[in-house]
Chain A
Amino acid sequence: MNWTCEQTELRLTDYLDALLEPEQRREFDLHVNGCERCSPLVASVTHAVANLRMLPELETPPRLVYNILDATLGPRETVSGWSAIRAWIRGIASPRFAYGSLSVAATFLMLVTASGFNWKKPKIADLSPVNIYRGTNRQVHQAYARSSKYVSDLRVVYEIQSKLRESNELPSGNEGTAPDSNQQKDPGRTDGTNPATPRQQNRANEVNSHIQVLAEEFPVLGEKLCFVLSGKLSGALSGSSRLQ
């Protein structure tokens, strides 16, 4: 059987709704694949039907049901008391409303807390716009000061670490290659180690002076640094001495 263009147009719906027999479907496909007229027609109709089926189903307008019920059963009796409260809660208990309310409440809490409101001793005066502004301003400035102090502390620590790294690396690099004949031993020294060379000693003094300056400027940080770094420094110095 020779499938024609007219047949293709007439049976297009049967083809799209899968109502053709397998043999007819095969002939349909065979014709469409080789026909310049039918091929774009089938493609465009298939596309149109797919677009139609993608149209979303609309939600019923909220007032429609009430309007219908009012028009058929008559106006409903107004509820009062607990029934009214229950109906009101039922109305707002939709997920969309709950999420919206929660996000508004969370934002409000964050803003009030950020403005310095004391939740343990709440005062009405704290909620006045002027106090909220002052509190927020204060909090912002404090946060800025804290963060800049933190950043500058970090910078100092990194600087010290890099200096320590240099002091650890340089002596071992230069003096480790020195010939054994250059080794000096103090008379009476039995522990097998040599004291630091003048160059190393100068560097250690320099680092210690940095640490002292830090300790004066940053008392808490300085103490910790002195403790940590002096240990590292002595370790580094003794290590480099052993290499010699």
Chain B
Amino acid sequence: MEQDAQLVQQCLQGDGSAWEELVRHHSRRVFNICYRFTGNRTEAEDLAQDVFLRIYKTLGSYRSAHGGFATWMTSVTRNLLIDHYRRTKRDRITDSLDDAMPVVENKQSSARRPDEQALLGELSSQVQFALTKLSPELREAVVLRDLQQLEYSEIQTVLAVPEGTVKSRINRGRIELARILQQMGVRPS
């Protein structure tokens, strides 16, 4: 955390290598949040680039006293993702859940296939698909908690909502995700 704050100071003094180090250190995290939120690699890559452009422009507004650089960066990422969601809401085709949902035909039999890696990949895409079917409020809470492993207090800072709301969103998000996965045929063995 202190190292990040130091790098930010160096960046503000015009040190390009410090900025490069910050980008290299955090780009994976930002890209993963964007990908889990959108479910699209290309879109996630463009969004991650936009996030860093925004961070670069607003780096001066970062105060280490208000939390770690990673939390601040996650907050910027989240705001940009929500902006993006709202901007593209009209363009998106609201596809029916039943139409586009990849259904697991026979989970029991497919679990016995020797190629477990392929099955895992298939399951990952099922879960990712289900994730993108959640509302953005629930999705961001679940992504931050269960994928980014953030603490409740950090999520509270990122989402700028009370801790009770954070818990409630995570709870509702998980229950909704389980319901969608069940509809898709992904059931506990």
Q: Whole-angstrom distance between the alpha carbons of A154 and B66 in the complex?
A: 84
A111 interface residue per 8 A CB criterion = no
B159 interface residue per 8 A CB criterion = no
Q: Whole-angstrom distance between the alpha carbons of A14 and B168 in the complex?
A: 10
In the complex, number of A-B residue pairs with CB atoms less than 8 Å apart: 105
Q: Whole-angstrom distance between the alpha carbons of A65 and B186 in the complex?
A: 36
B171 interface residue per 8 A CB criterion = yes
Q: Whole-angstrom distance between the alpha carbons of A44 and B19 in the complex?
A: 44
Q: Whole-angstrom distance between the alpha carbons of A90 and B56 in the complex?
A: 27
Inter-chain contact A41/B175, CB cutoff 8 Å: yes
Inter-chain contact B174/A45, CB cutoff 8 Å: yes
Within A1-58, which residues are at the interface with B (CB < 8 Å)? 9-10, 12-14, 16, 41, 43-49, 51-58
The answer to whether residues A52 and B147 also contact, given A12-B175, A58-B35 and a CB cut-off of 8 A, is yes
Inter-chain contact B19/A61, CB cutoff 8 Å: no
Inter-chain contact B127/A51, CB cutoff 8 Å: yes
Inter-chain contact A44/B20, CB cutoff 8 Å: no
Q: A residues touching B (Cβ–Cβ < 8 Å)?
A: 9-10, 12-14, 16, 41, 43-49, 51-61, 64-65, 67-69, 71-73
Contacts A/B (CB < 8 Å), 6 sampled: A44-B178, A46-B188, A47-B186, A58-B32, A61-B41, A69-B23
Question: Which residues from B are CB-within-8-Å of A44?
Answer: 178-179, 181-182, 187-188
Question: Which residues from A are CB-within-8-Å of B31?
Answer: 58, 60-61, 64
Question: Which residues from B are CB-within-8-Å of A55?
Answer: 36, 124, 127-128, 147
Inter-chain contact A47/B53, CB cutoff 8 Å: no
B81 interface residue per 8 A CB criterion = no
- From DSSP, what is the main secondary structure of chain B's interface residues? helix
Q: Whole-angstrom distance between the alpha carbons of A12 and B178 in the complex?
A: 12
Which single member of A49, A67, A73 contacts B146 (CB below 8 Å)?
A49
B37 interface residue per 8 A CB criterion = no
Query: What class of interface size applies to chain B in its complex with A?
Result: 35 or more
Inter-chain contact B27/A60, CB cutoff 8 Å: yes
Question: Which residues from A are CB-within-8-Å of B187?
Answer: 44, 47
- From DSSP, what is the main secondary structure of chain A's interface residues? helix
Of B44-52, B72-80, B82-90, B93-101, the one contacting chain A is B44-52
Q: Whole-angstrom distance between the alpha carbons of A64 and B32 in the complex?
A: 12
Inter-chain contact A12/B177, CB cutoff 8 Å: no
Which single member of A10, A48, A60 contacts B177 (CB below 8 Å)?
A48
Within B42-65, which residues are at the interface with A (CB < 8 Å)? 45, 48-49, 52-53, 56
Q: Whole-angstrom distance between the alpha carbons of A55 and B181 in the complex?
A: 14
Inter-chain contact B16/A45, CB cutoff 8 Å: no
B24 interface residue per 8 A CB criterion = yes
The answer to whether residues A45 and B20 also contact, given A58-B31, A61-B41, A68-B53 and a CB cut-off of 8 A, is no
Question: Which residues from A are CB-within-8-Å of B103?
Answer: none
Which single member of A14, A47, A60 contacts B178 (CB below 8 Å)?
A47
Which residue of chain B lies nearest to A44 when distances are taken between CB atoms in the complex?
Answer: B178
The answer to whether residues A47 and B28 also contact, given A55-B128, A68-B23 and a CB cut-off of 8 A, is no
Question: Which residues from A are CB-within-8-Å of B23?
Answer: 65, 68-69, 72
Inter-chain contact A65/B178, CB cutoff 8 Å: no
The answer to whether residues A71 and B127 also contact, given A10-B171, A44-B187, A48-B174 and a CB cut-off of 8 A, is no
Q: Whole-angstrom distance between the alpha carbons of A174 and B128 in the complex?
A: 84
CB distance from B47 to the nearest CB of A (A): 11
Inter-chain contact A45/B41, CB cutoff 8 Å: no
B158 interface residue per 8 A CB criterion = no
Question: Which residues from B are CB-within-8-Å of A47?
Answer: 178, 181, 186-188
CB distance from A214 to the nearest CB of B (A): 51
Which single member of B35, B130, B175, B177 contacts A9 (CB below 8 Å)?
B175
Question: Which residues from A are CB-within-8-Å of B181?
Answer: 44, 47-48, 51
B8 interface residue per 8 A CB criterion = no
Which residue of chain B lies nearest to A72 when distances are taken between CB atoms in the complex?
Answer: B56
CB distance from B107 to the nearest CB of A (A): 11
A-contact bits for B151-189, CB 8 A (1 contact / 0 none): 000000000000000010011001101110110001110
